[in-house]
Structure 1
Amino acid sequence: MRSVFGPPAGDPPFAAWNAAVAAAAAAIGTRRFPDTLMAALRMLAPAQMMNGFFYTSDGRACDLYNEKLAADRALIVDGYLAGTFVLDPFHDAVMADGQARMIAMDECAPDGFTETEYYRLHYAATRIVDEVGFVIPLAEGCVGVLSLSRLAPAPPFTGAERDRLRAAAPVVCAFGHRHWFHAPSRMRAGTGLLTRIEDSRLTRREIEIVTLILKGHSTPSLAAVLGCAPNTVKVHRRRIYAKLGISSQTELFHLFWH
């Protein structure tokens, strides 16, 4: 097995890939499945961590697969399930249509995502430098996302690695669907308690703006999403901060999630 700190030279040998896929298929429905799937995916793109969550149709998050984390569970799972999942760009992308596919973090994150408190506490603290996810439709209208992550000091996934993972997505999503399809009926414990941002001091429009700010949208991005001028966004932000008695985005984050 090549080191996870460097990309493979190219596509894996066809026979070896077929053997790895066959092993994963044979393990569906057993505790060996995640490990065999990870072994197959590492042939396409070395990675240090695979974990997953699923989201319910009524706006909650649940644990799908987080048994072998390469990071602190309290950081990467407990706080996430407690409510911060609503700030995860993967959450928005997955819930947009629930279609099986591969998504990449930098393709769905807002322009100011790396400057958010959520990024600092969830990504920087766990040393995740890159992440791709496989969207997996599940029972009861739920949708899962199985993430493959690179941790520092490893480099981000290369374009060729992403291409290989995207090409494998139909197999990964189909296998994941078969293995975890009934997870919603077995894993209701640990659902998120906070599914949306609420504060009686703010109007519905201001709540929308707060949510977008916390997700990482910059002033220009907010203006584009809201269909208004950047100066109008600044006025809204000042008014929101005054109503809440705060002066920074860090305080805004901790007001809702600390």
Structure 2
Amino acid sequence: MSELISLFHKNPEIGEYVCSIADVVRSMGGEAFEKCLMNFLSEVVPVDHCVVFTYSDRGNAGHLFTHSRMPDREAEELARDYVDKFYKDDPNFKEIQNSDSDEYIELDKKVISVDYDPAYQNHFFDRRGLIDKAASVGKVEDGRVYCNFYRMVDSVKYSNVEWSVLKDLMPLATALIAVHYDIARANGNAFPDNGSENIVRKSIVHNVISKDSPPFDSLTMRERQVCERILLGYTTIGIGFDLGIAPTSVATYRKRSYAKLNISSQNELFNMCLKVARAH
């Protein structure tokens, strides 16, 4: 213990990192996770745009979260384009699919002007001001999480030193993201993908909340729409983008809905929806 105390005295920044990691761990499975993770990353190697996708064992792609300096609507649109249309064009996709590893994978560094198809490069890099990228993959219960850490044009590319630090940091960040995903799913959060399972889930959620039956009959149409998307795993930004309203409005509708339903969390909303579905 004395050696540990001495180490912290000699390197006070280590204590700050430990506190930041502790915040990340405490936030796992909750809405604050991505903010806590990015706060930690920014203390070590600044990341301008972090986006995490999921690949299920069925081969479907999904979007877990995006945290970015890019405008919210643009970032959400980019993630949707990837999941809906372009993920199979990602040169990393084949590498991930062909890998036999069930654990952490550090993906080879890709040269944007060489390793990407020109149309793909234009849509996902040039037009969005993304100039550099590090990527990794972690195992989760039903597939993998694909973690991407970008720099934008008004920053600079990762230096050799920063790449070295990233290589050391990404296994930890990827493991934290993977555990967050598994905890969130275990708690009833559903993350959208293109699979049939999600189509069934959408149908159940819509049928339950759209019915004029207690307790959801107390909600306005907009409040129901927000609750539906919360249950489907959409982020606040994603709900706003889908409904064409501001994230602050989403937060207001969520707060009103929870008050009317006498609940205080997404988990309680999920349990309420499940109870009504079983009753019908």
Residues 42-191 of structure 1: pairs in structure 2 closer than 5 A: 42-66=42-66, 70-71=70-71, 72-73=74-75, 75-97=77-99, 98-103=102-107, 105-106=109-110, 112-114=114-116, 116-140=118-142, 142-181=143-182, 186-187=189-190, 189-191=192-194
Amino acid at match of 2:103: Q
- Calculate the TM-score normalised by the size of structure 2: 0.56
Q: CA deviation at 1:69?
A: 6.4
The CA distance in 1 between the partners of 2:17 and 2:105, in whole Å, is 20
The CA distance in 2 between the partners of 1:69 and 1:91, in whole Å, is 25
Deviations 1:162-185 (A, max 9, x none): 211211233212211210026678
RMSD: 2.8
Deviations 1:108-157 (A, max 9, x none): x7x833551111111111111011123121122x1111211111121111
Distance 1:99 1:168, change over 3 A: same
The CA distance in 2 between the partners of 1:90 and 1:183, in whole Å, is 26
Q: CA deviation at 1:62?
A: 0.7
1:24 is matched with 24
Distance 1:46 1:81, change over 3 A: same
Distance 1:104 1:44, change over 3 A: farther
The CA distance in 2 between the partners of 1:155 and 1:46, in whole Å, is 10
Secondary structure (helix, strand or coil) at the match of 2:134 reads: strand
- Calculate the TM-score normalised by the size of structure 1: 0.61
The CA distance in 2 between the partners of 1:159 and 1:12, in whole Å, is 25
Secondary structure (helix, strand or coil) at the match of 2:171 reads: helix
CA contact (8 A) 1:48 1:149 kept: yes
Amino acid at match of 1:96: N
The CA distance in 1 between the partners of 2:51 and 2:191, in whole Å, is 17
Larger helix share, 1 or 2: 2
Amino acid at match of 1:175: L
The CA distance in 2 between the partners of 1:70 and 1:122, in whole Å, is 12
Amino acid at match of 2:167: R
Distance 1:131 1:171, change over 3 A: same
Between stretches 32-41 and 95-104, larger displacement belongs to 95-104
1:234 is matched with none
Q: CA deviation at 1:188?
A: 5.6
Deviations 1:155-210 (A, max 9, x none): 111111121121123321221121002667854634279xxxxxxxxxxxxxxxxx
Deviations 1:18-66 (A, max 9, x none): 1211111121122111111111111221121111111122322111113
Residues 189-228 of structure 1: pairs in structure 2 closer than 5 A: 189-191=192-194
The CA distance in 1 between the partners of 2:42 and 2:138, in whole Å, is 19
Structure 1 runs (4+) deviating above 6 angstroms are none
Secondary structure (helix, strand or coil) at the match of 1:189 reads: coil
The CA distance in 2 between the partners of 1:12 and 1:105, in whole Å, is 32
